[in-house]
């Protein structure tokens, strides 16, 4: 059955600089926090590092040709701050040249460049000065954003400031599973607010310079109370919703932090971090909101049952709770199928999320699903193909939910598969594969998986059925 998508709906795929580029120390690039973190014993599974990744830096024309073969409308990629401003000292033209070549290659192939300025790879030199716990880092980010825009703004229309600030603040600075690996609750909160501020400052600067389409990408969840008749579970769901969703949505779209979040965070020193005037900067109008969604969260305020399978962890390194102020939360199993990450498969959650945003935020800008996808333990068949039937099913069912949301009145204008290529999956290293294109890490050879072929058919079918 052909799928019907709204007119102009964009079909894309996404990657991030540190996960695919490699060339981590070439043409003037210096360490980002992920290069440094990956050298810490036990930080990343198998001792993997982003040093070579999937060599997108050198194989970019081949990768753009693959995107064209799939029929993509758009490519979502990120710019590496540590490549463009090594050590955040000065502009590195050679580093910026890579993105200029990439954009020309994309435009030549009829593919829209969808640029993200920050996908977690802070220059290590800035981390050495306190990183995102320092307010000054927000101003450094705005400066970097301006330099990237000065060079690429003539050809890039869609600008995303941050990807998933939740991960680069609470998980990197309070939980410690991500770079820089700090485990300090207040540092997580400071990073969260300073990334919001950085976003607002950059939006203002880029708007002044004529940028037309400005947005941010958040990873949002449906916080599902494990037992909806248990007040402890209802409170747990409220807390998770406050910290994981509304701590981001509300300052951006309503110029305030939710009262219940502030109460949950009492005693963690959050409020003094927020200066007068910050929220007005942060709530600068947006042209789109990117939504990343992989799974819902079934949450409880009680300890998980003893017979629940333990959550999968990338390494044995000690981490802390990223749920600042709500450290007691647990995530009991509810028996849904799971991916190789241990993440629940529950496609209707994506539609529920898009509908909820539409219902609750009157000033919501148009939505794009900027990431959705699945990791499975792929096998290469004797014929050299990857018959990733589970990923095909995941893809189809999630696309269907997005289109059903659109048909029901949600203003969602695009879908980006995560990921174009197998890549460096952060603390999990190369062990978890999300690509719709396989990468053989020994030879860097690319093979379109069944899911990639299926995506191509979905795109062609929807395009043919698109109302004119
Ligand atoms: C998201 C990240 C992305 C990728 C996917 C699996 O949280 O934005 O880089 O790692 O998860």
pLDDT per residue over 245-294, tens digit each?
999 999 999 999 999 999 999 999 999 999 999 999 999 999 999 999 99
**DSSP string across 218-260:** EE---EEESSTT-HHHHHHHHHHIIIIIIHHHHHHHHSS--HH
d(CA 35, CA 37): 6
**DSSP string across 127-173:** HHTTGGGSTHHHHHHHHHHHHHHHHHTTT--EEEEEE-HHIIIIIII
Q: How many CA atoms lie within 13 A of 323 on its CB side?
A: 16
Residue 457 has pLDDT above 90, yes or no: yes
HEC assignment per residue over 419-432: CCECCCCHHHHHHC
d(CA 352, CA 340): 24
d(CA 194, CA 53): 29
Average per-residue pLDDT for the chain = 98
Q: Rg of the chain's alpha carbons, rounded to an integer?
A: 21
Q: Which residue in 133, 153, 106 sits closest to 12, CA to CA? A: 106
pLDDT of residue 3: 86
d(CA 230, CA 246): 22
Catalytic annotation on 355?
no
Ramachandran angles phi, psi of 137, nearest 5°: -60, -30
- Crossing angle (nearest 10°) for helices 389-407 and 450-465: 20
pLDDT of residue 467: 65
Q: How far is the CA of 424 from the centre of ligand 1 (A)?
A: 10
Q: Kindly state the tokens that stand for 437.
A: 């294109």
d(CA 46, CA 314): 9
d(CA 300, CA 353): 19
Single out the catalytic residue among 30, 105, 164, 177: 164
d(CA 422, CA 434): 5
Residue 1 has pLDDT above 60, yes or no: no
| Nearest atom (ligand 1) to Cα of 16 | 9
What percentage of the chain reaches a pLDDT higher than 90?
A: 98
| Nearest atom (ligand 1) to Cα of 19 | 9
Single out the catalytic residue among 21, 371, 401, 425: 371
What number of residues does the chain have?
A: 468
> Can you give the pTM of this predicted structure?
0.98
> Can you tell me the mean pLDDT for 34-40?
98
DSSP state at residue 120: S
Burial 208-234 (b: 16+ CB within 10 A, else e): eeebebbbbbbbbbbbbbbeeeeeebb
| Nearest atom (ligand 1) to Cα of 432 | 6
Among 304-318, 361-375, 391-405, the minimum mean pLDDT is found in 304-318
Burial 391-407 (b: 16+ CB within 10 A, else e): bbbbbbebbbbbbbbbe
Q: How far is the CA of 233 from the centre of ligand 1 (A)?
A: 27
Catalytic annotation on 425?
no
CA distances from 253 to 246, 362, 377 (A): 10, 9, 39
Pocket of ligand 1 (CB under 6 A): 16, 19, 163-164, 167, 219, 292, 371, 418, 425-426, 434
Is residue 466 very low, low, confident or very high in pLDDT (cuts 50, 70, 90)? confident
């Amino acid at each position: 059955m052909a799928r019907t998508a709204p007119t102009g709906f964009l079909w894309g795929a996404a990657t991030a600089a540190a996960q695919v580029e490699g060339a981590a120390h070439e043409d003037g690039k210096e360490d980002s926090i992920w290069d440094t973190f990956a050298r810490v014993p036990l930080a990343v599974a198998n001792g993997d590092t982003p040093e070579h990744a999937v060599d997108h830096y050198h194989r970019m024309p081949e990768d753009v040709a693959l995107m064209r073969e799939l029929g993509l409308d758009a490519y979502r990629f990120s710019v590496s701050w540590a490549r463009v401003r090594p050590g955040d000292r000065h502009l590195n033209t050679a580093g910026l040249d890579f993105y200029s070549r990439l954009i020309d290659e994309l435009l030549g192939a009829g593919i829209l460049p969808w640029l993200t300025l920050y996908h977690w790879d802070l220059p290590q030199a800035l981390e050495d000065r306190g990183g995102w716990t320092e307010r000054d880092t927000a101003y450094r980010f705005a400066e970097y954003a301006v330099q990237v825009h000065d060079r690429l703004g003539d050809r890039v229309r869609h600008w995303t400031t941050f990807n998933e600030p939740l991960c680069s603040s609470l998980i990197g600075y309070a939980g410690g599973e991500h770079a820089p690996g700090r485990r300090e609750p207040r540092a997580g909160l400071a990073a969260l607010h300073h990334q919001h501020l950085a976003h607002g400052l950059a939006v203002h600067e880029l708007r002044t310079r004529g940028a037309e389409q400005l947005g941010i990408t958040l990873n949002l969840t449906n916080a599902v109370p494990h037992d909806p008749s248990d007040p402890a579970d209802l409170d747990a769901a409220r807390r998770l919703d406050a910290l994981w969703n509304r701590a981001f949505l509300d300052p951006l779209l309503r110029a305030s932090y939710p009262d219940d979040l502030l109460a949950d965070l009492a005693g963690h020193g959050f409020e003094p971090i927020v200066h007068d005037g910050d929220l007005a900067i942060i709530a600068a109008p947006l042209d789109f909101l990117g939504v990343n969604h992989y799974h819902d969260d079934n949450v409880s305020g009680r300890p998980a049952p003893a017979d629940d399978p333990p959550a999968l962890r990338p390494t044995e390194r000690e981490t802390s709770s990223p749920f600042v102020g709500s450290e007691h939360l647990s995530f009991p199993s509810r028996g849904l199928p799971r991916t190789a990450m241990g993440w629940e498969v529950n496609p209707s959650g994506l539609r529920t999320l898009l509908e909820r945003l539409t219902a609750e935020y009157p000033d919501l800008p148009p939505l794009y699903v900027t990431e959705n996808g699945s990791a499975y333990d792929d096998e290469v068949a004797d014929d050299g193909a990857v018959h990733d039937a589970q990923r095909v099913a995941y893809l189809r069912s999630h696309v269907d939910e997005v289109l059903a949301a659109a048909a029901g009145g949600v203003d969602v204008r695009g879908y980006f598969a995560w990921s174009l290529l197998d890549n460096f999956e952060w603390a999990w290293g190369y062990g978890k594969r999300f690509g719709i294109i396989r990468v053989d890490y020994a030879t860097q050879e690319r093979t379109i998986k069944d899911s990639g072929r299926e995506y191509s058919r979905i795109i062609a079918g929807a395009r043919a059925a698109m109302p004119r």
